[in-house]
Chain A
Amino acid sequence: MPNFFEASRRHFSDAEYLQNDNRLPNAGQLYGFSAECGIKALIEKTGAKPTKDHAHQLVNLLPTLQIEAQGRLSAQYLAKIDQKKFNAWGTWHTDQRYEAEKDISQMKDFNDWYASAKNVSEVLEEGRIDGVFL
């Protein structure tokens, strides 16, 4: 049974671990999964059920949340998801895991991926402090 909140935290902290060791391609992959799970955790709080086919279309997740978010509980967190930062996921793809490091040209966007994953994590952490995610 998915626990998107826990999964998002786990992917983020593992990604940080890899990043600190300069293993950026897999760090980038995990930041992506962290953001994906984070947004799905928020989508669940809107009362909607996140679809499964979003892993390779991360950038499509935010519009889903934007449509579902309504009322005070979910809207207060959605408003803090930085949409400009989130657009960075346009160059992220799960298929990058099949490629050689030198061939992943999108790695130039790593810092932007990191910035968005961090933003999502911070919003989730706020939800945790608030008692929305336990």
Chain B
Amino acid sequence: MKKKIEFGDVLDKVADLLIKLLPDNILKDETVVVRDIYNRILILLKFDKNRKKEKQQLINDIENALKELGPYYRGESSVLCACDLYESDIWFKNQDILTFRRNDVEIKLLERQITGQDWLRPKTELHTIPRLAFYSFKGGVGRSTTVAAIAFLLAQSGKKVLVFDFDLESPGLASMLLPIENQPKYGIVDWLVEDSVDNVENHLLQDMAASSRLATNMDGNIKVIPAMGAKTDGERIDPCYLAKLSRIYADIPKQDGRIERFSDRLERLVIESEKSEKPDVVLIDCRAGLHDLSAGSIVRIADESFLFIVDTPQSWQGYRLLFSHWQQFPKEADIIRRNLKVVHALIPPKGHREKPFLDESYRLFQEILYDTISSGDTSQDEKIFWFDRNIEEAPHFPIGILWDEFLSEFDYHKFDNSDTQQKIKSNYDSLFKTVTKILEK
């Protein structure tokens, strides 16, 4: 019996049939494979009316061959030519076009997805203020506590720090850095909903950032932009938060006809806040897991992302999942992998096995993101990205953070205590040094 076609078989099968049917130059320069939102395949050919007529037999052959895809066949019109589209440039010059390889042949691929596009859209805009993201595949690994501690240490060293809580679906950083009576009137979610109806006025941005008392009497300061505002008098908790949250992910049409994506809106929020607050450094507390908020933060916005890993099978497996996605698209992966740094989180105080962690981390990077990927241009070998196991500056080489009972139940009022400050200093020392080095760059 013939094997049933499943999701993961489709792309390779399409690549094989296109390699067989299409002349090299047409496949390379005039073909885009679209995977629609159901993983069904549409082939776009850059043919005008005359070329379409001339190549009708070829088009029919592809249409027929695509029927082999079974449930992933779109039916008639599975091949469209440029002349069949209103604005063919939107599709042939689409910013989301990726390149995938099958047997050393490069094929242009346009992934149409409901979510998750940003995992493969590395940032292109240059900016001057360094942005550091703190990400974890699983929650509960001390990520937000670390953001608070690093903000504290940076402010102590004289830096103006701007902290964003991008963990919009389980916010909490603000309550760690600010007592509730100091929390600002608005949060990120307020900005997003008001912006979608062009209702953002200057004061909203200013009313989103609150100074943390942690930095009192320090040369630097900490400004916090929380996920939610504390606008309701008396109650302080915004009863509309979920209603707002459920509306923020839409892409929004702009006056010039462009569609602004969710992650681009987040980036614009960061840029506008940077203009208004003029910090020395931006820290972003990311949402955990494979969410658009994390993709936007790590891939689109941050210059450097700290990946928090706990030494558990589920944590390693999670990162393998994410890295393997990047690995399929070398051009994008080559940009992204340069901005990653592993943090070994929640190290048990006694009997921890740091060496196996390093081995595991090295294996993760070596097998997926290191030399297995070239920049796509084999004539430029120097672009190959490779580190030995014991190179401390390498992305895989972990920065350790010890698990600490006291710090795990940590909030703003405990910062006043000098013992706490000492504890923060010693526990986050290596990470703080790495952050300082990045800022010096």
Footprint of B on A, CB under 8 Å?
12, 72, 75-76, 79-82, 84, 118-119, 121-122, 125, 129-132, 134
The answer to whether A122 and B75 touch across the interface, beta carbons within 8 angstroms, is: no
| B85 interface residue per 8 A CB criterion | yes
Quote the shortest CB–CB distance from B246 to chain A (angstroms).
10
* Most central of A119, A125, A131 by chain B CB within 10 Å: A131
The verdict on A129 contacting B36 (CB below 8 Å), with A80-B251, A81-B253 known, is yes
Contact indicator B85/A125 (Cβ below 8 Å) = yes
Is B250 in contact with A76, judged by CB distance below 8 angstroms?
yes
Report yes or no: B75 in contact with A121, Cβ–Cβ below 8 A: no
Point out the residues of chain B lying under 8 angstroms from A75, CB to CB.
250
**A interface SS class:** helix
From 37 to 61 in chain B, residues with beta carbon under 8 angstroms from any chain A beta carbon are 37-38, 40, 42
Q: Cβ of B252: which chain A residues have Cβ within 8 Å of it? A: 79
Known: A76-B114, A122-B87. A134 touches B74 (CB 8 A): yes
The answer to whether A131 touches B37, judged by C-beta atoms less than 8 angstroms apart, is yes
List B residues at the A interface (Cβ < 8 Å): 34, 36-38, 40, 42, 74-77, 85-87, 90-91, 110, 112, 114, 250-253, 255, 257, 259
Q: Are A80 and B36 in contact (CB under 8 A)?
A: no
- Residues in B whose Cβ lies below 8 Å from that of A72: 114
Chain B residues whose CB sits within 8 angstroms of the CB of A119 once the complex forms: 253, 257
Question: In the docked arrangement, what's the CA distance between A82 and B198, Å?
Answer: 13
**List of A residues within 8 angstroms of B77 by Cβ:** 134
Q: Give the distance in Å from the alpha carbon of A72 to the alpha carbon of B113 in the complex.
A: 11
The answer to whether A121 touches B40 (Cβ under 8 A) is no
B112 to chain A, nearest CB (A): 5
Q: Can you report 10 A-B residue pairs in the complex whose CB atoms are below 8 A from each other?
A: A12-B86, A79-B251, A79-B252, A80-B259, A81-B253, A125-B86, A129-B42, A129-B91, A129-B110, A131-B42
- What are the residues of chain B within 8 A of A81 when measuring CB–CB? 253
Docked complex Cα distance between A114 and B11 (Å): 38
Query: How far is A40 from B250 in the complex, measured between Cα atoms in Å?
Result: 21
Q: What is the minimal beta-carbon distance from A91 to any residue of chain B, in angstroms? A: 20
A85 to chain B, nearest CB (A): 8
Q: Is the CB of B38 within 8 A of A131?
A: yes
Most-contacted residue by chain A among B36, B40, B110 (CB, 10 A): B36
Extra contacts, 20 of them, besides A82-B253, A131-B36 (Cβ < 8 A), are: A72-B114, A76-B250, A79-B250, A80-B253, A80-B259, A81-B253, A118-B86, A119-B257, A121-B86, A122-B86, A122-B87, A122-B90, A125-B90, A129-B34, A129-B36, A129-B91, A129-B110, A130-B36, A130-B37, A134-B76
- Judge whether A129 and B112 touch: CB under 8 Å: yes
Contact of A125 among B34, B87, B112, B255 (CB under 8 A): B87
Residues of B within 8 A of A125 (CB): 85-87, 90
- Which A residues are CB-close (under 8 A) to B250? 75-76, 79
If A76-B251, A125-B86 touch, does A134 touch B75 (CB 8 Å cutoff)?
A: yes
> Which residue of chain A is the closest to B44 with respect to CB atoms?
A129
Which B residues are CB-close (under 8 A) to A80? Answer: 251, 253, 259
Complex: chain A residue closest to B42, CB-CB: A129
Complex interface: chain B residues within 8 A of A121 (CB): 86
What separation, in Å, do the CA atoms of A132 and B114 have in the docked complex?
12
**For A134, what are the chain B residues with a Cβ–Cβ distance below 8 Å?**
74-77
With both chains docked as a complex, state the minimum distance between the C-beta of B11 and any C-beta of chain A, in angstroms.
15
A132–B253 Cα gap in the complex (Å)? 20
**Residue from the list B40, B76, B257 in contact with A131, Cβ < 8 A:** B40
From the candidates B37, B110, B253, name the one contacting A79 in the complex (CB within 8 A).
B253
4 A-B pairs closest in CB distance: A131-B36, A79-B250, A82-B253, A130-B112
Closest to B253 in A: A82
Tell which of A79, A82, A122, A131 touches B74, judged by Cβ atoms closer than 8 Å. Answer: A131
